[in-house]
């Protein structure tokens, strides 16, 4: 019980502290509400990326395998929604910057990483939604889904680390490190690269 409580408390802190730190950012004083909403949707997206590998690897105590899968799916859909809010909010505040980013002509390097992560996240979500209709072998489907998720994670982490903005640098770095650690641990545990049929 103590171990379970510590794990959940640590996870909640990892998700909440970056949001709280960002809420106190001096950059917010010069931003309009739409831009602030877009920014916090991005921060929320980064936090959701921590949950996904933990759920896929069944590292969260108290959750059955079935429940972990169900929550993983819903978090995935929530992540897509948060990304849409993030991009839509930036579009409303500065359409030319978003167009440049989508066309990969933005002078800011972090924009390209964000766009790559966005499309990969959409692809991973579509694979999740249409899994049964695709009729792929599970291991091949999982490899495809995980590859897109990996691109999402790497792109998002680089995107976040290159931005100097609302997120406080220490909590941002710590959250990115946790996402990377959780993802690597789940990959090693599941061995998704092994697509051979079981005997």
What is the tens place of the pLDDT at every residue in 97-133? Answer: 999 999 999 999 999 999 999 999 999 999 999 888 8
* Cα angle, residue 161 at apex, residues 82 and 79 outer, rounded to 5°: 15
Going by C-beta distance under 8 Å and a sequence separation of 6 or more, which residues neighbour residue 178?
14, 50
- pTM of structure: 0.91
The domain ranges of the chain are: 2-190
**What tens digit of pLDDT does each residue of 145-198 get?**
999 999 999 999 999 999 988 899 999 999 999 999 999 999 999 888 776 655
Q: What is the mean pLDDT of the chain?
A: 93
Q: Coil, helix or strand for 152?
A: helix
Distance CA 153, CA 161 (A): 12
CATH of domain 2-190: 1.20.950
**What tens digit of pLDDT does each residue of 51-109 get?**
999 999 999 999 999 999 999 999 999 999 999 999 999 999 999 999 999 999 999 99
What per-residue confidence (pLDDT) applies to 199? 43
DSSP-derived letter for residue 196 is P
């Amino acid at each position: 019980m103590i171990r379970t409580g510590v794990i959940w408390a640590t996870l909640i802190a990892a998700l909440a502290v970056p949001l709280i730190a960002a809420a106190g950012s001096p950059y917010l004083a010069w931003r309009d509400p739409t831009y602030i909403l877009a920014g916090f949707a991005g921060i929320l997206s980064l936090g959701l990326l921590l949950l996904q590998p933990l759920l896929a690897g069944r590292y969260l105590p108290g959750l059955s395998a079935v429940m972990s899968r169900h929550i993983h799916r819903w978090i995935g859909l929530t992540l897509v929604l948060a990304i849409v809010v993030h991009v839509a909010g930036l579009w409303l505040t500065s359409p030319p910057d978003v167009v440049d980013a989508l066309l990969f002509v933005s002078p800011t390097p972090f924009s390209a990483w964000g766009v790559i992560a966005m499309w990969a996240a959409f692809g991973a979500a579509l694979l999740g939604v249409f899994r049964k209709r695709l009729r792929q072998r599970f291991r091949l489907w999982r490899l495809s889904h995980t590859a897109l998720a990996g691109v999402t994670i790497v792109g998002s982490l680089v995107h976040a680390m290159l931005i100097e903005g609302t997120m406080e640098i220490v909590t941002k770095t710590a959250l990115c490190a946790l996402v990377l650690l959780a993802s690597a641990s789940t990959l090693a545990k599941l061995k998704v690269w092994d697509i051979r049929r079981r005997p």
